[in-house]
Structure 1
Amino acid sequence: MAKQSPSVFLEEWLQSSSGVNDFSPSGPTLSAQAIIQAWADLRDLLQRQTFHPRHLEALKTLISSQVSLYVAEPQAKLVVAILSSDHVSLPPESYAFFLRLLYVWVRKSSRHSPLLVTSVVDLLLHLFSRKFDSTRSSSFLSEEILLLGSLSFSFNASEKSKTSCLELLYKVLEEDYVMIGSSDSHMHSVLAGIGYALSSSVQAYYIEILDFLFGMWNKKDGPSANVSQGLMILHLIEWVLSNNINAHASDKINLLRMEAFQSRKPAYATFAVLMAAAGVLRCLGRWGSTKFMELRTSAEEVIGIVGNELISRTHCLKSYEIQSRESFLLQCISLALARVGSVTFRAPLFLCLTSALLIEIFPLQRIYDQIIEHTEGGLFELGLNKHLETIIFKEAGVVTRVLCNFYASADEENQHAAETMIWDFCRHIYIRHRQAALVLQGHKGMLLTDLEKIAESAFLMVVVFALTVTKHRLNHRIAQEIQQQLSVKILISFSCMEYFRRMRLPEYLDTIRAVIISIQENESACISFVESMPSYDDLTRNNGRPTLQKTEYVWFTDEVQTARILFYLRVLPTCIERLSATAFRKIVAPIMFLYLGHPNAKVARASHSVFVAFLSSGKDQEDKDRVQLKEQLVFYYMQRALELYPGLTPYEGLASGVAALVRQLPAGCPPIFYCIHSLVEKVKTLCSLVNSKEADLWKSWDGDLEPPKKLLELLLRLLYLVDIQVLPALMKQLAEFIVQLPPGGHDMVLNELYQQIAESDDVTRKPTLVSWVQSLSYLHSLSSLSLNSVSSRL
């Protein structure tokens, strides 16, 4: 069975289903004594035939406890008597409260006296005929419509009373539509009244009322449409159909037939039909019956026609500057499809969903334009916090899921169209967010935070979509070249959105693994990926709009750019085997060396990892250019890394780079000797900056001595890593340094050496190292020898 309203009151359920922010189904909890007193005040009103302010307060007290309030027949008669009295002068605002009490009676009472129902109908006819302008406010009219609709839906009312209610309800709609549409705050009550009427067992005025529902937004001076109202219509039709899902369902919503609603009608009329058709599909989906396939087909065709017309009017929505009417319909289509669930694939709807996500749900392009237009220090009141609270933004995940389901059913042409839109979106977001972040530097407030919340959700959408693409396109049915091109585009898009990745996502990792497998064995795909990196000049200059040139640009403070480069640095080691030496030299090396000096240790370590990966690559290849480039890079690597140590160069990154070069380069090659010499010289420089007179300082090697100690430990570790041809030179340079240390430092190094050698199982080097350490101990004991004498002995 279709899901019924969990609330007794349809208007409350419509509000909650449409995501109205100010919806509150229950007022303050009132005591039974307060409610009893309020009814007593109303009885006093009827007896004294005089209305006082306390009577209005009594009405407000009762209405505020509507959820828990029960109105029995005697109390309903009291209300009718007050409204029917010619001797009581009621204030205009009180009428809506009295009608609300009668509505509570209708909805909560299990039995309605036919005579009382007739009295209420006669009362409403009387009130309608009076035509008091002061009485007939939008609030009064909405309550009147709500009460008339609920009476027509009542099981205990006679057919004659129901017919009278429907006739009067239609007259109110037709004659007072201007006032009905003057206040959005009462639209939920108006729609609920219409919903009750459409669910009445009496068929009178059914077509007329339904026609008014679909056309009221197109009337002159009618209400202005919004997304919440659209969702109310969707769930209203769902509720109506669920009450009539049996034998006559097709007849009950005949006007939803495709023939009756061509999308040539103006946009706001179209939106109502669109949302109503979605309500039909939602109910039928819950019902799960194939009995109404013709009805389902008609409803799907209605939505498909709206989507097709929308795509045609906006030229495939390639422009981000669309009209407000199309913008509104995009939101309605996306929400309708999100609420419906399973819908037959139609290409226009697929493209509409894609555009709705990129333009309406994540309106980043428009936001960036507005921000950059205020580069002279204007106020940035863009209402982003309001967008974060909208129902359209909160439904982003569901809309993305529907989009992915459509993608699985789309042909290759439409799949490619959606992919292109989303990949382009990622690239534009990267470019524009960098510019916006520069403009907003130092700007107080939550603007940048709210902006990045929207972008973060957009990142999640991109990841989910990309994973869907990999599942359906990276398979044997697609040409390998197309797979590789698609994989590169996904990686580039991820790099552009990397700044907004704030959590670990299994979908993100699964997608990257899938696309890397596709490109890491193909040289052209690897080069294509590498060539997509921003150039060195782009990274170190502000290449934004001319209006941003006044802003001083410092490359390492650009967090958006840094996040993108970090993505490349992490992915590069996985495909570096297929990357030519030429491509590495021209594209990767300059960026790698630049980011070796990045203040963020995580970024710097990633740069060291790229260096290590390149040194370790090509083992099975006889590539002289690659070997030559490796040797050439070592010289600048050691200079760059050591000049920034210990300030910016992380020790772990340096240690991994040094270990890799002594293992991977040809034995005894000049770069290895240069590496050892550079390390020793750096240790000497660092130690010379420390006050050697502080004897206690050399006992622990903490504090200022920690950086040189780490480098010395690295040199000691190299004793077991360097080739046997290099080992004598390493021992000689170490010995020259060690014998110059103060006694405390000398003792500590010797103790470290003793321990390492004792634990070593390298039978080739161990005898040589034992003899070497014994010589160091002996030289240390000859404290009277001059430095020249020590050097000669070494």
Structure 2
Amino acid sequence: MAKKPESVFLEEWLCRISGTQENVTLKHPSSASAQAIIRAWADLRDSLQNQAFHSNHLQSLRTLVDVQFSLYIADPQAKILLSILSSQKVSLPQESYPLFVRLLYIWVRKSFRHSPGVIDSAVEVLLHLFSGHIHSNKSLSFFSEGVLLLGALSFVSSASEKSKTVCLKLLCQLLEEDYRLIHLSERTIPNVLAGIGYALSSSVNIYFGRVLSCLMELWDKSDVPSASLSYGLMILHLMEWSFSNFINSHSTDKIDLFSREVLKNTRPAFSLFAVVMAAAGVLRVINRSEQKALIDLKISAEERIETIACGLVSSAGDADYATMEPRNSFLLQCMSLALSKSGPFSYQPHVFLCLTTALLTEIFPLPHIYVKIQESPSGNLVGLVLNEVQQHLDSIIFKEAGAITSVFCNQYVMADEENRSAVEDIIWNYCRDVYMWHRRVALMLGGREEALLGNLEKIAESAFLMVVVFALAVTKHKLSLSAPQEIQMRLSVRILVAFSCMEYFRRMRLPEYMDTIRAVVTRVQENEHACVSFVESIPSYDDLTNQAVPSSFQKMEYMWTTDEVQTARVLFYMRIIPTCVECIPASVFRKVLAPTMFLYMGHPTGKLAKASHSVFVAFMSSGKDADPDERDTLKEQLVFYYVKRSLEGYPGITPFEGMASGVVALVRHLPAGSPSIFYCIHCLIEKANSLCSSVDTTPETDLWKSWDGELEPFKMLDLLFRLLSLVDIQVLPSLMKSLAQLVVKLPSSGQDIILNELYQHVAESDDVTRKPTMVSWLQSLSYLSYQNTSKNAPKVAAKELHDSMSGTTDSLSMNKISARL
């Protein structure tokens, strides 16, 4: 059932529940004291006794209206108001009439007991008043207050059938006949709707159909903005409130009449959006009710909305989601908002398609906004674009994006396969277009229109959430074991590509996102064709390094390293590719991935550079290929450029952890004695030598006195130490010789610390094959370092080192070596 209004004033409740509280004519209680209220009533009594109405009496009316939330009016006070209004001797100012009627309305709604005689008097007074004031252009407020009071009087249980009938007849006359002379505004709509709501719930049924028709035709004759969704919500909740009254009072005749008039009648005069909102309000009640007798009405309401949706789909034709006729645009908003409020809704194909269009054109209208920005002359943005975006962020439809997405996904689950596939294509293409447009717009606006760009990204962030929720629904219902493998593969790739396009807008860690990624990656990594398709969707090297900009911005220099939208997308690829690199042929890796991988190793963003190294590691670790020789050859070739590219940016751009993982991978997975490994070690030694020579060795700041693993020279040396236990036996002698040559060039403090580290490394080794060789090498290195220090003769030490590494062993003083270690 509908939630009962928290206020006795229906119009105030409608405003609050529909989000238009600021527009409601009712105001919060003023701070008027009890004495002020008593004095105001006393003034009105004086006016009646003296048969005169002055400015102080008008102020008394205003004082009473200002405290209407706390004001109670009984029959005696109502008689005073009616007497003044009906007096032939009192000349009332025009602005007093709405105040009198408002006070009478408060009496009707708040009084616990109404005298039938007073009710009859009020009806007579209203008949007289409207006959004399309806044609005045100044009486709009009076008109709306009068409709409200007439409706409230027809709803009073203690009123006579005659009085109720008179009120309903007059209300219909006002809305049908004289209304053409009055154009409602935003301030008066709540009163008129509430008056209609009271009238619909009256115990007198003779005018029910006419009142209902007035409600459906109301918007065709008003000055309310066509895109005023909040007033559409008022209709929804008004019908929810009224229909609950029908059910509670067992008014089956009203229920049947509503079905005939609104759900089955297709009169052109009816506003389609009002019909949609009314039907949704009824569905909201039915879905909460346990009465099975209402099931046919539920079916009728859903079919009526589907009929309107069918007309929308037909009228839209081939229009894309960047443009939409304003009338259709508003109706789409109403339909999606209504469905988000109505509760469970059976699958309807055209409703499903309308929801799709509404999400992409009305709730997340990014392409439409991008086009506006693009068309701005010379890139100069008018304030209207920023205002439009800000208004959209504050709009009801945007705030309901989550609920509408939920309805959309529920429709997808129930949809037929043809419509499912069509909608999937629309969503994935939307992601691609948002990526392409936002890249360009971010370049245009960056540094100039940060407020507009930030607001655009707020919309896009919500669009990303919609795509994630939809993609999860797709994976749950299509990536099942019963679905053909080809469909699973193609769909998985498209979801990954769509996610890559929207990755820039991911601002949080979502379980739905991670669940979807796991589900689709599992399918992709099992199939070579799917892996290749995914890899080939990555932007080409030329696209990554060159951005097409509008002609008015050709002078702007494009820097791929500052393109954050593109960077986020490439990072997504770099994180996914290692999971499926086994199925990527060497030829595809060479042509598509290698250029991008090496390009982004030089990206200043550490996590992206590190991810690029991870791709290299994954490829070096892979071994599955139709042509193993081609894969091994490519690995050898990549190493030379990888080492060069990595060391060029180290320290600075290249993250040490990424480079270290790459070096470890290549020495582990390349064939024994590979020239690439010798080249890598040679380059590492050179780099280490360069870094060590830059270490400050002054007595005050001798960094060699303590091993700080965070310093770049020590990181590099530590990597070389690790390689002692990783390189194959054919490469080990060359590594030991190069490392020894580096050590003997270090100052005494540096040699000591290095020898200590090497001693610990060798001592902890459990490799019985290479440990004896390394012990012998370490003893020789220790001796030569001691000789170098004591004799201060680097040339002699170098010759001895060469002889030692060539197999010549001098007698060693173990005591001295031990002391040195």
TM-score normalised by length of structure 1:
0.95
SS of 2:667's partner is helix
Give the distance between the partners of 1:21 and 1:617, measured in 2 at CA: 64
Q: Please, which of 468, 481, 484 is the counterpart of residue 486 of structure 2?
A: 481
Question: Aligned in 2, Cα 1:483/1:546: closer, same or farther, shift over 3 Å?
Answer: farther
Give the distance between the partners of 1:182 and 1:205, measured in 2 at CA: 22
Instruction: For residues 284-321 of structure 1, give each alpha carbon's deviation from its aligned partner in whole angstroms, at most 9, with x where no partner exists.
Output: 11113210222222211111110001101111653532
Q: Which residue of 2 aligns with 1:618?
A: 623
Question: Aligned in 2, Cα 1:694/1:435: closer, same or farther, shift over 3 Å?
Answer: farther
Q: Which residue of 1 aligns with 2:816?
A: none
Question: Aligned in 2, Cα 1:259/1:277: closer, same or farther, shift over 3 Å?
Answer: closer
Instruction: For residues 92-126 of structure 1, give each alpha carbon's deviation from its aligned partner in whole angstroms, at most 9, with x where no partner exists.
Output: 22322222222122112221111111121111112
Q: Please, which of 448, 465, 474 is the counterpart of residue 470 of structure 2?
A: 465
Q: More displaced, 17-26 or 553-562?
A: 17-26
Residues 213 and 261 in structure 2, CA contact (< 8 A), matched pair in contact too: no
Instruction: For residues 111-153 of structure 1, give each alpha carbon's deviation from its aligned partner in whole angstroms, at most 9, with x where no partner exists.
Output: 1111111121111112112227558522111111111101100
Deviation at 1:263, TM superposition (A): 5.0
Give the distance between the partners of 1:215 and 1:338, measured in 2 at CA: 24
Q: More displaced, 696-705 or 478-487?
A: 696-705
Could you tell me which amino acid in structure 2 is paired with residue 666 of structure 1? P
Q: Which residue of 1 aligns with 2:201?
A: 199
Question: Aligned in 2, Cα 1:632/1:118: closer, same or farther, shift over 3 Å?
Answer: same
Instruction: For residues 496-518 of structure 1, give each alpha carbon's deviation from its aligned partner in whole angstroms, at most 9, with x where no partner exists.
Output: 00000000000000001111111
Question: Aligned in 2, Cα 1:93/1:220: closer, same or farther, shift over 3 Å?
Answer: closer
Q: More displaced, 335-344 or 397-406?
A: 335-344
Question: Aligned in 2, Cα 1:314/1:262: closer, same or farther, shift over 3 Å?
Answer: farther
Q: More displaced, 297-306 or 684-693?
A: 684-693
Deviation at 1:768, TM superposition (A): 2.9
SS of 2:187's partner is helix
Q: Which residue of 2 aligns with 1:686?
A: 691
Is 1:254 the counterpart of 2:238 in the alignment? no
Q: More displaced, 223-232 or 773-782?
A: 223-232
Give the distance between the partners of 1:237 and 1:731, measured in 2 at CA: 87
Give the distance between the partners of 2:232 and 2:579, measured in 1 at CA: 49
Q: More displaced, 382-391 or 572-581?
A: 382-391
Q: Please, which of 791, 795, 798 is the counterpart of residue 791 of structure 1?
A: 798
Is 1:492 the counterpart of 2:497 in the alignment? yes
Q: Which residue of 2 aligns with 1:730?
A: 735
Q: Which residue of 2 aligns with 1:359?
A: 361
Give the distance between the partners of 2:251 and 2:746, measured in 1 at CA: 100
SS of 2:4's partner is coil
Is 1:639 the counterpart of 2:644 in the alignment? yes
Q: Please, which of 777, 793, 805 is the counterpart of residue 772 of structure 1?
A: 777
Q: Which residue of 2 aligns with 1:30?
A: 31
- Written as runs of structure 1 = structure 2, the 5 A alignment for 1:129-528 is 129-131=131-133, 137-178=139-180, 180-219=182-221, 224=226, 226-245=228-247, 246-249=249-252, 251-252=254-255, 254-257=257-260, 261=264, 263=266, 265=268, 269-315=271-317, 317-318=319-320, 320-374=322-376, 375-382=378-385, 383=387, 384-444=389-449, 446-528=451-533
Deviation at 1:552, TM superposition (A): 1.5
Deviation at 1:403, TM superposition (A): 0.8
Residues 121 and 161 in structure 1, CA contact (< 8 A), matched pair in contact too: yes
Question: Aligned in 2, Cα 1:54/1:753: closer, same or farther, shift over 3 Å?
Answer: farther
SS of 1:446's partner is helix
Q: Which residue of 2 aligns with 1:696?
A: 701
Is 1:608 the counterpart of 2:626 in the alignment? no
Give the distance between the partners of 1:297 and 1:632, measured in 2 at CA: 68
Provide the identity percentage: 56
Instruction: For residues 523-579 of structure 1, give each alpha carbon's deviation from its aligned partner in whole angstroms, at most 9, with x where no partner exists.
Output: 011000001000000000012444443321100100000000000001101111100
Could you tell me which amino acid in structure 2 is paired with residue 152 of structure 1? S
Residues 7 and 13 in structure 2, CA contact (< 8 A), matched pair in contact too: yes
Could you tell me which amino acid in structure 2 is paired with residue 311 of structure 1? V
Give the distance between the partners of 1:504 and 1:110, measured in 2 at CA: 56
Deviation at 1:789, TM superposition (A): 2.1
TM-score normalised by length of structure 2:
0.92
Is 1:105 the counterpart of 2:104 in the alignment? no
Deviation at 1:726, TM superposition (A): 1.7
Could you tell me which amino acid in structure 2 is paired with residue 377 of structure 1? N
Question: Aligned in 2, Cα 1:126/1:698: closer, same or farther, shift over 3 Å?
Answer: same
Question: Aligned in 2, Cα 1:98/1:568: closer, same or farther, shift over 3 Å?
Answer: same
Residues 370 and 438 in structure 2, CA contact (< 8 A), matched pair in contact too: yes
Question: Aligned in 2, Cα 1:180/1:653: closer, same or farther, shift over 3 Å?
Answer: farther
Deviation at 1:778, TM superposition (A): 1.9
SS of 2:651's partner is coil
Q: Please, which of 531, 534, 548 is the counterpart of residue 543 of structure 1?
A: 548
Q: Which residue of 1 aligns with 2:804?
A: none
Residues 256 and 298 in structure 1, CA contact (< 8 A), matched pair in contact too: yes
Is 1:589 the counterpart of 2:594 in the alignment? yes
Give the distance between the partners of 2:274 and 2:664, measured in 1 at CA: 69
Instruction: For residues 302-354 of structure 1, give each alpha carbon's deviation from its aligned partner in whole angstroms, at most 9, with x where no partner exists.
Output: 11110001101111653532211111111111111111121221110000000
Could you tell me which amino acid in structure 1 is paired with residue 579 of structure 2? T
Q: More displaced, 718-727 or 642-651?
A: 718-727
Q: More displaced, 456-465 or 609-618?
A: 609-618
Give the distance between the partners of 1:223 and 1:426, measured in 2 at CA: 32
Give the distance between the partners of 1:708 and 1:547, measured in 2 at CA: 49
Residues 321 and 368 in structure 2, CA contact (< 8 A), matched pair in contact too: no
Give the distance between the partners of 1:548 and 1:159, measured in 2 at CA: 75
Alignment RMSD, CA only?
2.4
Residues 479 and 488 in structure 2, CA contact (< 8 A), matched pair in contact too: yes
Could you tell me which amino acid in structure 1 is paired with residue 584 of structure 2? L
Q: More displaced, 26-35 or 382-391?
A: 26-35
Could you tell me which amino acid in structure 2 is paired with residue 162 of structure 1? K
Question: Aligned in 2, Cα 1:148/1:607: closer, same or farther, shift over 3 Å?
Answer: same
Give the distance between the partners of 1:718 and 1:685, measured in 2 at CA: 19
Residues 151 and 197 in structure 2, CA contact (< 8 A), matched pair in contact too: yes
Question: Aligned in 2, Cα 1:590/1:264: closer, same or farther, shift over 3 Å?
Answer: farther
SS of 1:185's partner is coil
Deviation at 1:705, TM superposition (A): 8.6
Residues 95 and 135 in structure 1, CA contact (< 8 A), matched pair in contact too: no
Deviation at 1:704, TM superposition (A): 12
Is 1:82 the counterpart of 2:87 in the alignment? no
Instruction: For residues 447-501 of structure 1, give each alpha carbon's deviation from its aligned partner in whole angstroms, at most 9, with x where no partner exists.
Output: 1111111000000000000000001111133211011101111000000000000
Give the distance between the partners of 1:754 and 1:41, measured in 2 at CA: 105
Deviation at 1:702, TM superposition (A): 8.7
Residues 699 and 748 in structure 1, CA contact (< 8 A), matched pair in contact too: yes
Deviation at 1:27, TM superposition (A): 1.1
Residues 170 and 209 in structure 1, CA contact (< 8 A), matched pair in contact too: yes
- Written as runs of structure 1 = structure 2, the 5 A alignment for 1:640-719 is 640-693=645-698, 696-699=701-704, 706-719=711-724
Residues 178 and 223 in structure 1, CA contact (< 8 A), matched pair in contact too: no
Is 1:556 the counterpart of 2:556 in the alignment? no
Could you tell me which amino acid in structure 2 is paired with residue 654 of structure 1? M
